[in-house]
Amino acid sequence: MTRKPPDGQGNRWSDLDRPPLNADSLRRALVRPGSMFTSLDVLDEVGSTNTELVERVRAGDAGAGAVLVAEEQTAGRGRLERSWTAPPRSGLFFSMALEPVAPVERWGWLPLLTGVATATALARAAGLDTSLKWPNDLLADVDGSERKIGGILAERAGERAVVVGIGLNVSLRADELPAPGAGSLALAGAQGTDRDPLLRAVLRSLEEWYGRWNGADGDPGASGVQEAYAAGCATLGRSVRAELPGGGDVTGEAVAVDGDGRLVLATSAGMQRPIGAGDIVHLRGADD
């Protein structure tokens, strides 16, 4: 369900520093013969692009390669249903429908490769050095502090379908940040915050990395995804505490991301403990 922005001054759609996305231009650039993208829709407002696209896929109204973008999310969410809020047109909020040929047991790599693709795109298109916090956050330096600028969420949408969503803070100002640990491309010193080229760059990078991974039957080593993720993962080499459902936790040094996409912790007991993304509630620094 779309909603036309109201006319006039002084409303939430009148910020001239945040122009709307050009849906026609994006479709011409991305939905083309030979591309993995089959459709691209831009909504003025939606609760959550992931929720909407999952519903469309399950209803047969969208298939593999469909992209759904929102100028504003009123019920944006991340992993474990955590909320994601931002002013209209201040970020990139979008989801993609995928039907991997890779075995289902390797689908846990989808949010990780999406992180690699997004970080690669931001380096190329915005000149911004970002890092990845396992399992699904994008980080950037803001005034000497490591801040979260984006997040990734993957959800099953059927037996062979999965929807991957990305939320990326682009032009948020300091007084608009939803939490002390949040940041934005603008605050991190990105060379450009024009959302159209940024979105094209991220989607094209995703097409490249997803194509490698899917073409390698989901093998993270053969596709190069595992090596690229480890190279850009800020979590590795740090002492962290994985908070588990029910109140327990595991503390250790993050030493690797294994072939299943799990974070491997070297504990003080001399054991290596793999932790899956679905096994934790929070991952924090050991001293936090």
Tens digits of per-residue pLDDT, 217-244? 999 999 999 999 999 999 999 999 998 8
Query: pTM here?
Result: 0.91
Burial of 176 (0-12, 13-18, 19+ CB in 10 A): middle
Q: Are 136 and 185 within one domain?
A: yes
Give the domain range for residue 257: 236-285
* Contact criterion met (CB below 8 Å) for 119 and 128: no
Q: Are 70 and 169 within one domain?
A: yes
Tens digits of per-residue pLDDT, 80-130? 455 667 899 999 999 999 999 999 999 999 999 999 999 999 999 999 999
Q: Are 247 and 219 within one domain?
A: no
Tens digits of per-residue pLDDT, 45-70? 999 999 999 999 999 999 999 999 99
**Number of compact structural domains in the chain:** 2
**pLDDT value of position 285:** 83
Sequence letter at residue 22: N
- From 68, 196, 188, 174, select the one nearest 123 (Cα to Cα): 188
Can you tell me the distance from the alpha carbon of 146 to that of 141, in angstroms, rounded to the nearest whole number?
Answer: 5
**Does 38 reside within a domain?**
yes
Q: Virtual CA dihedral for 185, 187, 188, 191, nearest 10 degrees?
A: 60
**pLDDT value of position 65:** 98
DSSP secondary structure code for residue 285 in this structure: E
**Does 195 reside within a domain?**
yes
